[in-house]
Structure 1
Amino acid sequence: MTLASLLQAHSQLAVPLHPIDVKDLGRQVSRYRNNKAQLKAEFAIVNRNPPLPQTQAKLRSNSGKNSFPKVLPYDETRVLLQPAPNESYSDYINASYIDSFDIPRAYIATQGPSKKTAPDFWRMVWQERVGCIVMLTRVFDFIKVVCIEYWKAENDEPFGDIAVTVVNKETLANFIVRTVRLRRGHEERDIKHFQFLEWPMHRVPDTSHILEFRRRVLDYTAHHNNFDGPIVVHCCDGGSRTGVYLALDMNLDMLLCESQIDVFGCIRLLRQMRPYMVENKAQYRFLYEALLEAYLTGDTVIPVLELASRMKMLSGKTSVGGRRINHFHEEFKLIQRLTPHLSTGVCAGGHRTDNRYKNRDVIMVPPDYARPYLTSFQGQEQSDYINAVYVDGFQRKNDFIVTEWPQRNTVNDVWSLVYDHDCNTVVMLIDPQTSTNFPSFFHEKGKQKPYGVFTPELISWQHYPNIRTMMYKIRKKTVSLQEMMMGTVNELKSTQFFVLECWPESNKVPTSTAAVIELFNMVDRWRLKTGNKPVLIVSPDGFSRAGVFCAAKIACEQITMHQEVDVFHAVKTVKINRPQLVNSPMEYKYCYDLVRTYVYTVATANNAKSDSTDH
């Protein structure tokens, strides 16, 4: 389709040349999902930008400061640095001022600093009194360095006359928050550096993750930013992903203030200030999807002190249109609506003919991009497949691995999973009687029993109220060429099994919420000793119970670190790679119950500690 035909199509389609009221946002997003021609036509119009002067950026003396020659600042909106003494053309940096929804020059969009341009970057941050930097790229992307770690100085050398030191770092599953101290002469400034980790070049991130990231940035700039300068935003080139983030931020402000959004007009405005802001149709559509999700979900973060009252409100019922609505059920229905469907194509490995028999249910198949691959090939098949899926935690990417109880033909594969991925923590949320449907895959007494090429030796066991544990040392019998090259021949590995005994097969939820919280604590203490390798969660069918454990664990970690909780976001997170996790309103409600018990347990422990200190 040519541009002319696209423009002709525009005259026949409802392109939103004016802001969209929030009540119409859902219908607009549905039109994009069902009518790709309209999205294509609209984005083609956005792409029609008259060329603006880029004289300074194209000077030969400045060309070496442009890491991506396609994305050059316009003369009218470029950031001018204060000239350095005895340095010609030292006022140039590949950076542009960007207006926000209601504030001129609210942001600076710039390319990711290189080794050559990092001193100029920090000069700009100091000059503009920047208090917050938003980084939307990893250092490596597509197996190449796209941005240096500019917050780290080589041999503690300053960047020009500015010394840079990281004084605090908080790592979460999808982003990192750093406190960076700048020192120039006798003056010091502490600024925040937010780095989003899960946004590959030319693609779009998960909507809930980027919305949560933006919430954290907004919380800091609204309450803790001590400087009056713009927010610096960059990806690798300062164009595509930077433009998406800025358009999202501006439209969310507009949504809050005026109950309207204007993606079309916002991007047209952004592109008048810097080229290539929002790169492709996928990013353009993503903006509408993210804005719709933000509008539908609202603020789901609950301060710990308000948890009891919020749960009381959610437990109540409201009459709408003559019917009684349970708020827990409505929240769960919204999560189901926002959970993306996994196509057969992205789950190709599990649907292969030679792997289908390894799945308890052919509908419950992991996506290839999120499944742990087996490297200890066993038998004649030499298969790398097991029905298991990674699930993110609160602080760590791929913090959990969820798998189904093995069948007779996959018992050995479970031990491959434990061994190959160093799963030194195995949590079993079911304690069934050995049967054809639930074959035994571990022994608790008697001699060592081999499982394929693995021989787990039972070292110790303990029995606690509602929980029992078993410690194993695992030896691998055969040796692969890879192991020989890595020097891990005959390497002994240890793992501890935690079996929850208070969740009968017939029960939808455990009989003891306190026991689940104690299981969280036992797992945490064990991981503190052994390192934060993935926790393997064994579910009866690969989804039930496991989602509750993962989501509640995420929420409890959030309480510990930030004294707030977002059960809605936690549940949505665990459903990304396996949509069936937390699969009923009852499981969703039980996640809240676990969180409430956790808050009570922590408060009781703190009070007891305080009393003992007083005496």
Structure 2
Amino acid sequence: ANTNYTLNLSGTTADDSYPSAHYNVKVYSRPATIRFQTDYDSPPYVDRPDIIKRETIISKTVPLSLHKASTKNGPIDRYYIVVHLFEKVTYQSYVPQEGRKECCYTAAVFSSDKLPDVFTLGDGRTTIDYYPFAPNIYNNSPIETNCKVKLVSWGFSRKQENLTTSSATTQILLSSKPIRANQDSMNNLLWIFGVVISIFIIFIILVVFTVKYSRTKKKPITPPPESVPFDLTPKMLTMEMPILPPAISPASSGEPVELRRTHCITASNTYSVTTHPPIHVDEFAAHVERLKAADNYKFSQEYESIDPGQQFSWDNSLLEYNRPKNRYANVIAYDHSRVVLRPIDGIPGSDYINANYMDGYRKQNTYIATQGPLPDTFGDFWRMVFETNSACIVMMTKLEERNRLKCDQYWPSRGTETYGPIQVTLTDLIELASYSIRTFNIAWIGHPEKREIRHCQFTAWPDHGLPDHATSFLMFLRRVKTLNPLDSGPIIVHCSAGVGRTGCFIVLDAMVDRLKHEKTVDIYGHVTLLRSQRNYIVQTEEQYIFIHDADNEAIQSGYTEILAKNLFTHLQRLLQPINDSSLTEMELEFKRLANVKAQPSKFISANLPSNKFKNRLVNILPYENTRVCLSPVRGIDGSDYINASYIDGYHSPKAYIATQGPLLETVDDFWRMLWEHNSTIIVMLTKLKEMGREKCVQYWPNEHSSRYGYFVVDPIAEYNMPQYVLREFKVTDSRDRLFRTVRQFLYTEWPDQGVPKFGEGFIDFIGQVHKTKEQFGQDGPIIVHCSAGVGRTGVFITLSIVLDRIRYEGVVDVFQTVKLLRTQRPAMVQTEDQYQFCYRAALEYLGSFDNFSS
């Protein structure tokens, strides 16, 4: 008696073919019956529509027999009849992209209980679909003559809209005249048809003989034996390098999104692409706020209303020899937009890769969206890069996230690797805080021509969720644009599945292009367009909201990056009054930095009662997501807290720790932070007192060793330089007697009020700090503090990053640099004087180089 039992039940179906099954489980002790139902699954195989009587096929209409799918996997809600029309019918197994034109439409929709046994394709009748929110009208248009028609029947589960199954296809060749059932006429037709086929076969034999004869005169492409990889098949070895990449479908006149909007027919004025027009930039911020009201309620409505675009066929993805090439079973490549590789003789499916062409702003096929390559598709991936004449690859994922493989490494870490018929050589690698840029040379085996490919990998996307701010993502996007030549092929974009983050990049890049040419934003329209080219593009509502936030930030911030050689002219313009007013462009630019307001929920730990007294100023607090966490001490609330924030540098994330001047109560925590985070460099940008007020307590010993918590600090040396004081300390952990040398740089030339008159001395100081870090420092961050840890501290870190960008990229963007810092710690670069000082110091730095003097 009085015993608690925990009963764990787990159930598995005996056969995977029986989802949506009901089970009764009896538990013995006291009798109990538990009822549960397994999850729904996709409807089982749907039979293809059958042509009832081929002799009845006449122009414009075709009678078909339809068959319902089994409901054993769950109830089926509706069926769609989908038609694919091809302008030209060929007898070739491979139709080049440039020679193929295809359109697709839904001819009819039927609820499960009203699916007719006989359906006449092309009878001109209409059906109405009320899914998901508003009715859509489908017109069973007459079929044109001399067409190849492909039908797909779909079943939808009531509970999950993505549980769909398509049938195999039925091909129909229509005649412009009725075919009589008279046997004599049929025999005559068969006789004529036989003669034509015979002539055609003879012609094919002659062509094949001619081609083979001409090829014998060519020197075969045979690579050196040592360059042949293990998996390089003989068929690949004899492949000829494409002289030209396959032509991409020519851009039609007009903007792709508007063309799709024009051709969309709807019976509703609430949720459809036709009733979601572009938003003017002046109204966009208010538009986003309206969508976010009531916990993103209208965002949810709008996202759910986007046409999922899944009425298209993906037959090639389902072929047995292509299925292993798909990373995820439910993320496929639509047939009408898929990238078609040049086929390899004798290898079925060699033209297939899980990738789709995607339209950009006013340009078709601007991008290729694809999955993260699998080991067996590395060769196909690099063939695609070569054949489509792409010059830039954008990777939106790490290789592993949360201990899960997201993408296999398809490039060499050093030197040269061979993937299929393509040799790839790594020539350069630049690793920055939020992204990496690799440069490859690729060549077709046996051919001297080399192409330069840039590989841009965004590494700041969190393993779970979304970036808190879009600033670094926008900077990455702009860098990609500068690296992609205007005359190159599509930008190849991938994440893991090639739909979520990939969609975010493509949509936002297209919107940034749009902002350059017109004052409107059309995220809804562009996502709708892309959904018709690859399934699941922009995979979640949260990603859809992120695109809006990023676009809003791009509108408000503008484009502020300039070439370093133009900085003087740019600074002169910023200092000029605007339209005879007292305001300057510099003042307006600085005020724009304050547009983003931090929510109180971002300062959770800083506002806890156990931590409030540790903050020097009540309005300068670390964000929860970037705060430096100490190892908690058992029994002491808030022992993991210090008013300090991680700040990314130019080359690496968390390169700095920005913190306040220690208080008497936090000195022990300061040394604990330094030890736990392996820091060996301290930068101090304030005196202990200024203007009669305490700015920082003395947290170091002068002559004799002092103990701070577990740590004993011994002064070793002190050097008085013209603009700074350098102190060296030996810091020992009393628990294990381990020690390290720590250096403190105290800048003495910053005035109590305002900023230094000239920037040259401060620039030299920054250089000396980083030089010492490279020479003696360990891998830990540089700790930078003033009084509050935002003003002068922000200037030091801003200029460190700005000067690095000048050296490595030849560009300056003070605004975006400060904006990015403020996403990591509030109020970085606190005053307009400090902001202007960053510009002036950068200009003085440029003046020291002859190549920038012009």
> How do 1:219-368 and structure 2 match up within 5 A?
219-222=482-485, 228-319=488-579, 323-337=581-595, 339-344=596-601, 346-368=602-624
Q: Is structure 2 residue 354 aligned with structure 1 residue 91?
A: no
Which whole-Å CA distance do the structure 2 matches of 1:398 and 1:443 have between them? 28
Q: Is structure 2 residue 808 aligned with structure 1 residue 550?
A: no
Query: How far does the alpha carbon of each residue in 1:418-469 deviate from its partner, in whole angstroms, 9 at most, with x for none?
Result: 111121111000121499773211123x222221211122222211112110
Query: How far does the alpha carbon of each residue in 1:47-89 deviate from its partner, in whole angstroms, 9 at most, with x for none?
Result: 5434211111122332221112222111111112223344322
1:181: which partner in 2?
A: 441
1:486: which partner in 2?
A: none
Which whole-Å CA distance do the structure 1 matches of 2:626 and 2:360 have between them? 37
The answer to whether the 8 Å contact 1:342/1:367 transfers is no
Q: Is structure 2 residue 837 aligned with structure 1 residue 590?
A: yes
Select the residue among 11, 26, 30 that pairs with 2:289.
30
Select the residue among 200, 215, 218 that pairs with 2:481.
218
2:180: which partner in 1?
A: none
Bigger mean CA offset, 177-186 vs 154-163 = 154-163
Q: Residue type matched to 2:846 in 1?
A: V
Q: Is structure 2 residue 727 aligned with structure 1 residue 467?
A: no
Q: 1:341 to 1:217 in 2, by over 3 A?
A: same
Aligned-partner SS, 1:78: coil
Select the residue among 461, 465, 480 that pairs with 1:199.
461
Which whole-Å CA distance do the structure 1 matches of 2:272 and 2:407 have between them? 40
Rg larger in structure = 2
Query: How far does the alpha carbon of each residue in 1:386-406 deviate from its partner, in whole angstroms, 9 at most, with x for none?
Result: 111011112221111011111
Q: Residue type matched to 1:496 in 2?
A: R
Q: 1:539 to 1:124 in 2, by over 3 A?
A: same
1:580: which partner in 2?
A: 827
Bigger mean CA offset, 73-82 vs 13-22 = 13-22
Select the residue among 476, 490, 508 that pairs with 2:754.
508
> How do 1:14-93 and structure 2 match up within 5 A?
17-34=276-293, 36-93=296-353
Q: Residue type matched to 2:818 in 1?
A: V
Which whole-Å CA distance do the structure 2 matches of 1:363 and 1:63 have between them? 57
Aligned-partner SS, 1:475: strand
Q: 1:182 to 1:38 in 2, by over 3 A?
A: same
Query: How far does the alpha carbon of each residue in 1:342-377 deviate from its partner, in whole angstroms, 9 at most, with x for none?
Result: 432x43222333223222234433223212222385
The answer to whether the 8 Å contact 2:683/2:784 transfers is yes
1:562: which partner in 2?
A: 809
Give the C-alpha shift of residue 269 in structure 1: 0.5
Give the C-alpha shift of residue 139 in structure 1: 1.2
The answer to whether the 8 Å contact 1:340/1:576 transfers is no
Bigger mean CA offset, 99-108 vs 561-570 = 99-108
Aligned-partner SS, 2:537: coil
The answer to whether the 8 Å contact 1:134/1:195 transfers is yes
Give the C-alpha shift of residue 539 in structure 1: 2.0
Q: 1:437 to 1:156 in 2, by over 3 A?
A: closer
Which whole-Å CA distance do the structure 1 matches of 2:658 and 2:132 have between them? 49
Give the C-alpha shift of residue 240 in structure 1: 1.0
Which whole-Å CA distance do the structure 2 matches of 1:243 and 1:48 have between them? 14
Which whole-Å CA distance do the structure 1 matches of 2:472 and 2:312 have between them? 35
Give the C-alpha shift of residue 332 in structure 1: 1.1
TM-score, length-scaled by structure 2: 0.65
Q: 1:437 to 1:175 in 2, by over 3 A?
A: closer
Select the residue among 382, 399, 420 that pairs with 1:122.
382
Bigger mean CA offset, 272-281 vs 346-355 = 346-355
1:162: which partner in 2?
A: 422
Q: 1:118 to 1:598 in 2, by over 3 A?
A: same
Q: 1:301 to 1:97 in 2, by over 3 A?
A: same
Q: Number of paired residues? A: 584
The answer to whether the 8 Å contact 1:374/1:416 transfers is yes
Give the C-alpha shift of residue 13 in structure 1: 8.7
Q: Is structure 2 residue 650 aligned with structure 1 residue 387?
A: no
Select the residue among 367, 374, 377 that pairs with 1:107.
367
Which whole-Å CA distance do the structure 1 matches of 2:816 and 2:424 have between them? 35
Aligned-partner SS, 1:318: coil
Bigger mean CA offset, 534-543 vs 83-92 = 83-92
Aligned-partner SS, 1:147: coil
Aligned-partner SS, 2:817: helix
Give the C-alpha shift of residue 603 in structure 1: 4.8
Which whole-Å CA distance do the structure 2 matches of 1:388 and 1:537 have between them? 10
The answer to whether the 8 Å contact 1:6/1:41 transfers is no
Bigger mean CA offset, 203-212 vs 435-444 = 435-444
Q: Residue type matched to 1:197 in 2?
A: T
The answer to whether the 8 Å contact 1:46/1:268 transfers is yes
Aligned Cα root-mean-square deviation (Å): 2.7
Which whole-Å CA distance do the structure 1 matches of 2:834 and 2:379 have between them? 52
Q: Is structure 2 residue 770 aligned with structure 1 residue 524?
A: yes
Q: 1:340 to 1:274 in 2, by over 3 A?
A: farther
The answer to whether the 8 Å contact 1:153/1:159 transfers is no
Query: Which segments of 5 or more consecutive residues in structure 2 lack a partner in the other structure?
Result: 1-129, 136-267
Which whole-Å CA distance do the structure 1 matches of 2:802 and 2:680 have between them? 23
Give the C-alpha shift of residue 380 in structure 1: 5.7
Q: Percent identity?
A: 29
The answer to whether the 8 Å contact 1:7/1:41 transfers is no
Select the residue among 391, 398, 416 that pairs with 2:654.
398
Give the C-alpha shift of residue 6 in structure 1: 5.8
Return the structure number with greater relative CO, CA threshold 8 A, min gap 6. Answer: 1
Q: 1:14 to 1:354 in 2, by over 3 A?
A: farther
Select the residue among 469, 472, 482 that pairs with 1:209.
472
Bigger mean CA offset, 28-37 vs 300-309 = 28-37
Which whole-Å CA distance do the structure 1 matches of 2:575 and 2:413 have between them? 53
TM-score, length-scaled by structure 1: 0.88
Q: 1:437 to 1:463 in 2, by over 3 A?
A: closer
Aligned-partner SS, 2:600: coil
Bigger mean CA offset, 238-247 vs 148-157 = 148-157
Give the C-alpha shift of residue 494 in structure 1: 1.8
Give the C-alpha shift of residue 274 in structure 1: 0.1
Q: 1:378 to 1:500 in 2, by over 3 A?
A: farther
The answer to whether the 8 Å contact 1:255/1:261 transfers is yes
Give the C-alpha shift of residue 157 in structure 1: 4.6
Q: Residue type matched to 1:59 in 2?
A: L
Q: 1:201 to 1:371 in 2, by over 3 A?
A: closer
Query: Which segments of 5 or more consecutive residues in structure 1 lack a partner in the other structure?
Result: 480-489, 608-615
1:442: which partner in 2?
A: 700
Aligned-partner SS, 2:569: helix
Bigger mean CA offset, 256-265 vs 360-369 = 360-369
